[in-house]
């Protein structure tokens, strides 16, 4: 009976674990839907700004703006890595951190110094464990980053680039392709050289259906004002995409954990039934043996 009781006890533990993982799966599903709605809500503004800037850039104008100046080869790179504050999301944080290490290694091989800025407790812990120097860590963004909070970080990046303290600003994040496909990506945000779309078209490349605008003030003045806004919007969208990826990864991880728990419960139930059956058989054999001894 001791073995059967041990199996029952273990099955109860697994059942309790299944309840927790199932609840976390449902919570992550709800948060994923909310974060996906935020990305969808921010996309039209970002896309419209990108289209306007593409049309402005297609005009025959010469703009000398600090955010457009390329300094190559880059002697100093500011690398922003976006991870999460919480775990239980599979390989989400590990893949992002390794992507950042790969990008940093490439830049160091090219002779650039790296300033590492890490968002999220998991990323900070990863790089500290690896002995990487972190210039600054951020844990206040959470899974609902606000535009105001991201704007402060964007302003710091712009100020560093314009003052030539850094020659490149890059970000490693979870790029959202679809509900089923999300991959770590490393994009260069400063200098601004291309629209941050998947097609990678340069800002100087006009769209196939370019709109006609009447500019007031002139196109050059508008582009000078819109460049910082474009960078801030792009960085904010990057944060939103990473949050979507985090909740999606946690939802999948918790579903896999729930499925594994259910399979383990079925296995333990079969083991318990066999152990109980064996015990009953032994008890019957002992009773029959006693009866035979009394004859």
- Omega prior to 217 cis, within 30 of 0: yes
Run of H or E residues at 240: helix 219-294
The pLDDT, as a whole number, for residue 57 is 65
252/112 Cα distance (integer angstroms): 38
Burial 135-146 (b: 16+ CB within 10 A, else e): eebbeebebebe
| Res 210: pLDDT | 52
Structure tokens at 141: 């963004």
Q: What is the mean pLDDT of each run of 10 residues along the chain (295 residues)?
A: 81 94 94 91 85 70 78 92 93 95 94 94 95 93 91 94 94 87 92 56 45 68 84 94 94 94 94 84 76 69
> φ, ψ for residue 73 (rounded to 5)?
-70, 150
| Alpha carbon distance 85, 272 (integer Å) | 40
List beta partners, residue 82. Answer: 119
Give the pLDDT confidence score for residue 206 in this predicted structure.
Answer: 43
Q: For residues 163 and 252, is the Cβ–Cβ distance under 8 A?
A: no
Instruction: Delineate the domains of the chain, giving CATH numbers in brackets.
Output: 2-24+251-283 (1.10.287), 28-249 (3.40.1380.10)
Six-digit token pair at 174? 């979870």
Would you state the pLDDT for residue 224? 79
Interatomic CA distance for residues 285 and 268, integer angstroms: 25
Task: Please tell me the distance from the alpha carbon of residue 217 to that of residue 219, in angstroms, as a whole number.
Answer: 7
On whether the CB atoms of residues 243 and 173 are closer than 8 A, the answer is no
User: Would you tell me how many other CB atoms lie within 10 Å of the CB of residue 155?
Assistant: 13
Which residues have C-beta within 8 Å of that of residue 267, sequence separation ≥ 6? none
């Amino acid at each position: 009976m001791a073995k059967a009781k041990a199996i029952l006890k273990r099955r109860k533990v697994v059942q309790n674990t299944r309840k927790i993982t199932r609840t976390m799966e449902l919570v992550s599903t709800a948060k994923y839907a909310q974060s996906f709605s935020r990305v969808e809500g921010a996309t039209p503004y970002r896309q419209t700004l990108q289209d306007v800037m593409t049309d402005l850039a297609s005009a025959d104008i010469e703009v000398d703006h600090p955010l457009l100046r390329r300094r190559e080869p880059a002697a100093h790179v500011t690398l922003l890595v976006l991870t999460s504050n919480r775990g239980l999301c599979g390989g989400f944080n590990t893949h992002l951190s390794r992507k950042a290490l790969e990008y940093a290694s490439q830049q160091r091989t090219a002779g650039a110094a790296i300033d590492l800025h890490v968002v999220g407790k998991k990323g900070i812990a990863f790089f500290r464990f690896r002995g990487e120097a972190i210039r600054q860590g951020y844990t206040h963004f959470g899974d609902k980053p606000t535009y105001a909070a991201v704007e402060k970080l964007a302003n710091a990046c712009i100020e560093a680039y314009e003052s030539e303290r850094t020659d490149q600003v890059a970000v490693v994040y979870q790029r959202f392709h679809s509900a089923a496909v999300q991959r770590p990506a490393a994009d260069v945000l400063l200098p601004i050289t291309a629209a941050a779309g998947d097609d990678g078209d340069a800002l100087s490349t006009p769209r196939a259906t370019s709109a006609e605008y009447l500019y007031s003030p002139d196109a050059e003045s508008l582009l000078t004002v819109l460049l910082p806004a474009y960078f801030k919007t792009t960085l904010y969208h990057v944060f939103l995409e990473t949050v979507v990826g985090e909740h999606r990864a946690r939802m999948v991880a918790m579903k896999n954990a729930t499925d594994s728990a259910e399979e383990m419960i079925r296995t333990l139930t079969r083991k318990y039934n066999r152990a109980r059956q064996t015990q009953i058989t032994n008890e019957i054999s002992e009773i029959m043996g006693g009866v035979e001894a009394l004859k």
